[in-house]
Structure 1
């Protein structure tokens, strides 16, 4: 209980500090022109930032302590689910943290509500309080999200009358359905994949990377992975049509969910009688039919077209070193530019092109290796999802929640859990609270590595810094 309360204190400090240091509104009707507005400027902002990072430290500490107790079988799934619930609640009502994407979601919903096509125009045409808070990067870009999510965004804006604060809270509540789906599906996935339910819930649902970024940052990835996890579980349970239909709904939120579908075809095919090739053909034909029926119905009911598919290219505007091709292209340009003045575009284009070729190859190889279906197909799907996150033209920290959620139900070794703890904490910290990347702040990055290493060690060794003589 003390560990859970430690995490509660942490998320409450994160929410409090976020009022001054998060991805705050340009004009907040709750704080503007009040005696509390100082928290967003000068020393007040510095204090808010310190409070927020203190909260992050407590959450990381609580999560690793909880993980140690789960690993040692001192607590089970009930304790982890309790932690997920109470650690989530304060974040539902905090200002957006580590990202401004939620303002884009709301502005795109307002576009649709006003009769404009969010797949054609960007938020800048609105000139409203919602669009004013959208990051300058996305002001003139169309929405790259599926028709189901556009309906949800439009509904949130309608229900809140275009209010920014109400829209943020309601959108978070909608996205939190994805977390509930994750918590519901992980025990079943662990049963199929050979893992422990409590470990799966701790690794994925209680993970600060998921809670702080996907709830605090309010990303629609959470709804996508929740639907995807449920669909995968249905397929493993033998409910193949329903499973493919639910994963198709996940695709109608965000396109990445499509990566799981070919692997679910293999699971289905392995259970059909007859020759292997014929069974694969039947499963593939049935899956395509279900996908087309569900996706077509969703698109027609939403009143949208396929304009979001070409809009997926807009993410390539992001350049950071979490994307390996972008890192290679950026490094190659920097090295060559030391000797010859050249434009960076060609380096990035070539590196990203090669990354895409490599990604296709990895996906094909993983699919072929998983041809016998069953739990191995899900593991290979998680590996492919990890490759998508690493080799896409643009990568953001919360993209790694995709493979994390798919693979959480596997049987993890102590070394594997330590590695996951390290990278989860590091990915949590490599973005500043206002949404700017920290990947080029070398001193700060060194500190994040130290904190991540401490979390990794703490997972198997109580109190490595000898701050307390007691284990809990």
Structure 2
């Protein structure tokens, strides 16, 4: 029997590395994943053992950090080992998806407790309370549900379709956290599968390599972490909007608008995509009268569907008043507008002024400017008719980028929004691809060092220090010293200079 080809062997190694990394993170989640106070897992071996002693929690922390970084390395190596992005690579990518996703479906929620907020909002629906006017704190014993404290007083910012999903998950599970979490995870997997189906369909329309886009976007570790391990409803949102834009681009506009509207009904941020869907539906040869006609048809169809759903659930357009997320005056250090606003407020405070008001002005200015940029992009029609679809989708990508980059808080899953939109319109080798590598490594590290759940008697400072040390050391190793991957983060001229020296 002949020996396997080196390339095939290398691909299999990458697939298995990702599987092992995913399994390690799933096992480690037992010790530092988020649990609700009502979870029966708290009283179940080996959960109780893994969470009650500092050494066990530290072992679980190391497992999660090492596992997720190994998944990142597997993704990088898979891109290197496949080499030629031909249709023959599609089965390998599909195999990687199942290898890497399946263990994470059964992990204790990692890096976010939003799924527990979904359970709380589902209970509000089940008890006949309006989630657009009531926070989770309206429920009895709400503190046992496990959501972030930001959600306890805040109304939900989600659309009516997601409220129905929350209602159904709580009704089917009887309020038990574990089966409800599994239902939310399955909807996350559905969103990922929709992306796996429709990303290559869009790339085929615009002349972008489909297999490379699948690897770059759908198998990206940041997407898998946030859409599966964390269970964010952004997975379903992005799957629906991607499918909708594909059908709009192929002149099946009614189906496209319905799917984009369904995405809005999960999370209303995709309202941004609606005018671009109308442009795609109108077609490349449309003049301004036809564009306005199709924009009108898009708006009437979408608003009509949302009104119907609002009538059926009795909540109307309540989600319009809850579009601002809880803690809207918060900021984060890697958000440019957030850093600018916080810095301006700090400076004003030094001179005895009201710094919080100044920060709010900066944050609001960022939001207004992002909306103006998005509006400008809607009316900026591509000049090259042969690149019409690609141009419209790229304008949609920049509209979402404006909203993300001009926000005071940038969440890791916001990167995934941009990755999908820019990925289907083409991310070039060189600087653009290296930027994706750096952002992926950065947001993986942010996830590893951000939200960790431990019991009150476990010193969280020690656990977080371990996560920061292990996560940073492993990510920096990939970027700077790993013999197989560090070249990916360097420009070719860097290596030419080194050889010349």
Q: Same fold, TM exceeding 0.5?
A: yes
Aligned to 1:430, which of 446, 451, 474? 446
**1:249 Cα shift?**
0.8
Counterpart of 1:382 in structure 2 is: 397
Take 2:300 and 2:345, find their aligned partners in 1: how far apart are those partners?
46
Take 2:211 and 2:489, find their aligned partners in 1: how far apart are those partners?
16
Greater Cα offset, 302-311 or 249-258: 302-311
Gap runs ≥5 in structure 1: 462-472
Take 1:22 and 1:318, find their aligned partners in 2: how far apart are those partners?
24
Does residue 113 (structure 1) correspond to residue 126 (structure 2)? The answer is yes
Take 2:428 and 2:307, find their aligned partners in 1: how far apart are those partners?
42
SS in 2 for 1:9: helix
Take 2:277 and 2:169, find their aligned partners in 1: how far apart are those partners?
32
Take 1:100 and 1:317, find their aligned partners in 2: how far apart are those partners?
21
Query: Alpha-carbon deviations, 1:335-354, whole Å to 9, x = none?
Result: 444x4344441132111122
Aligned counterparts, 1:169-318, within 5 A: 169-271=182-284, 276-315=287-326, 316-318=328-330
Greater Cα offset, 182-191 or 414-423: 414-423
The verdict on how the C-alpha distance between 1:375 and 1:128 changes in structure 2, with shifts beyond 3 A counting, is: same
Query: 8 Å contact 2:252–2:281 — kept in the other structure?
Result: no
The verdict on how the C-alpha distance between 1:13 and 1:29 changes in structure 2, with shifts beyond 3 A counting, is: same
Gap runs ≥5 in structure 2: 1-11, 454-460, 491-501
- Output the aligned Cα RMSD: 2.7
Take 2:30 and 2:449, find their aligned partners in 1: how far apart are those partners?
11
Aligned to 2:76, which of 58, 64, 74? 64
Take 1:214 and 1:132, find their aligned partners in 2: how far apart are those partners?
21
**1:33 Cα shift?**
6.3
Aligned counterparts, 1:342-361, within 5 A: 342-361=353-372
Aligned to 1:392, which of 377, 383, 407? 407
Greater Cα offset, 263-272 or 449-458: 449-458
Take 2:348 and 2:317, find their aligned partners in 1: how far apart are those partners?
40
Take 1:158 and 1:433, find their aligned partners in 2: how far apart are those partners?
34
Query: 8 Å contact 1:22–1:434 — kept in the other structure?
Result: no
The verdict on how the C-alpha distance between 1:290 and 1:448 changes in structure 2, with shifts beyond 3 A counting, is: farther
Query: Alpha-carbon deviations, 1:203-244, whole Å to 9, x = none?
Result: 111111011111110101111000000001101111112111
Aligned to 1:450, which of 476, 479, 489? 476
Take 1:70 and 1:247, find their aligned partners in 2: how far apart are those partners?
33
SS in 2 for 1:305: coil
TM-score (norm 1): 0.89
Query: 8 Å contact 2:131–2:155 — kept in the other structure?
Result: yes
Query: Alpha-carbon deviations, 1:28-71, whole Å to 9, x = none?
Result: 42242646523224121111100111101210110001122345
Does residue 22 (structure 1) correspond to residue 33 (structure 2)? The answer is yes
